[in-house]
Amino acid sequence: MIIEEKNGLKLLKFENLAGCAGLKVAVSTRAGGVSPVRDTGGFAPKTDGIKPSAETPDLHLQQEPGAFSNGVSPAPCAGLNLGFGADDTPENALSNLKLLCAAVDAPFERTVRMRQAHTANVKVIGPDFNFAAPAASAGENLDALITDLKNVPLLALSADCALTVFYDPARSVLAVSHSGWRGALLNIYAQVIAALKLRYGTKPGEIIVGVSPMISAENYPVKEDFIGKLRAFYPEEVSRKCLRLKNGRHHFNLKELLKYQLAALGVKNYEFIHMCTYADKDLFYSRRRDGENAGRFGLIAWLV
């Protein structure tokens, strides 16, 4: 993982995609600004395994206690909230998206978002897409977008779920997806790769994948009905790897299931950012921690 700070925003990038001349991608955080909005109680986010860049030797450097990014959203969305459905105004979310686009040199007017609904539905953004409104929505009940158009940023949002970028450099095509436990059980990765294969001739072994921070198994207790669903969808050996017992409760390892799916689909080049959205509360929004009105961080990616 690479850490960058631009225009006062702290951004995360993938090492395995850093050398791809045809793609730009970044994961936003809520941290990096100077506006104190709450007392963190001395909380120090975990940084195990993080490789700071030369520009930002410490991810939390120059961050005052309770300070969030230069975003305009109030608590509980304080910071760079990009979620239109969170407890925030659409105007604030658009302003924050403008800040993000400016920081990463992405064309805000051609950014495409989606109304995520924990499905395995995929939509292709082609030349007939209506870019009349800035940050136009591709529609409802979508959790993955695909395009081969240059300078069309695709945006996916999260508050504990995994955000994933898929890049096929041989065919210059891009996809982004959002997957929580529902999307993972439905295997949205398989749907994305099937669409890439059918429409563009993509070979899974040639895809480069990056996966954002998500909630860790340590902070993801689940109920018995979920365990039943997991075992109905996947073999017992997979279910065992994705579950752990802690204080008498089962906890779900979303990352482990996604790794299994990528390997089963034939994807060899992938990178996970090993940070927990629940634990790293000065960096990420978390629905499990903050409730249903939590803000959203994002993954934005586009072809150049």
In this structure, what CATH number is given to the domain that contains residue 293?
3.60.140.10
Cβ within 8 Å of residue 168, ≥6 positions away: 174, 196, 200, 202, 206, 207, 208
- Reading the chain (304 residues) residue by residue, the pLDDT tens digits are 999 999 999 999 999 999 999 999 999 999 642 222 443 333 333 333 333 333 333 443 333 333 454 677 777 788 999 998 777 888 889 999 999 999 999 999 999 999 999 999 999 999 999 988 878 899 999 999 999 999 999 999 999 999 999 999 999 999 999 999 999 999 999 999 999 999 999 999 999 999 999 999 999 999 999 999 999 999 999 999 999 999 999 999 999 999 999 999 999 999 999 999 999 999 999 999 999 889 999 999 999 9
Q: How many domains does the structure of the chain reveal?
A: 1
CA dihedral for 193, 195, 197, 199, sign (positive or negative): negative
Residue 243: inside a domain:
no
| C-alpha torsion angle, residues 271, 3, 143, 140 (rounded to 10) | -170
Residue 167: inside a domain:
yes
d(CA 162, CA 177): 8
Asked if residues 66 and 78 have their Cβ atoms less than 8 Å apart, the reply is no
Range(s) of the domain holding residue 110: 2-216+253-303
d(CA 113, CA 109): 11
Residue 77: inside a domain:
yes
Residue 273: inside a domain:
yes
Asked if residues 189 and 177 have their Cβ atoms less than 8 Å apart, the reply is yes
Asked if residues 66 and 38 have their Cβ atoms less than 8 Å apart, the reply is yes
Residue 224: inside a domain:
no
Residue 189: inside a domain:
yes
Residue 221: inside a domain:
no
Q: Which amino acid is at 211?
A: V
Beta strands in 33-180 (DSSP E): 35-36, 67-68, 112-115, 122-125, 136-140, 144-147, 154-158, 162-168, 173-179
Which pairing describes strands 136-140 and 249-252: parallel, antiparallel, or unpaired? unpaired
Residue 23: inside a domain:
yes
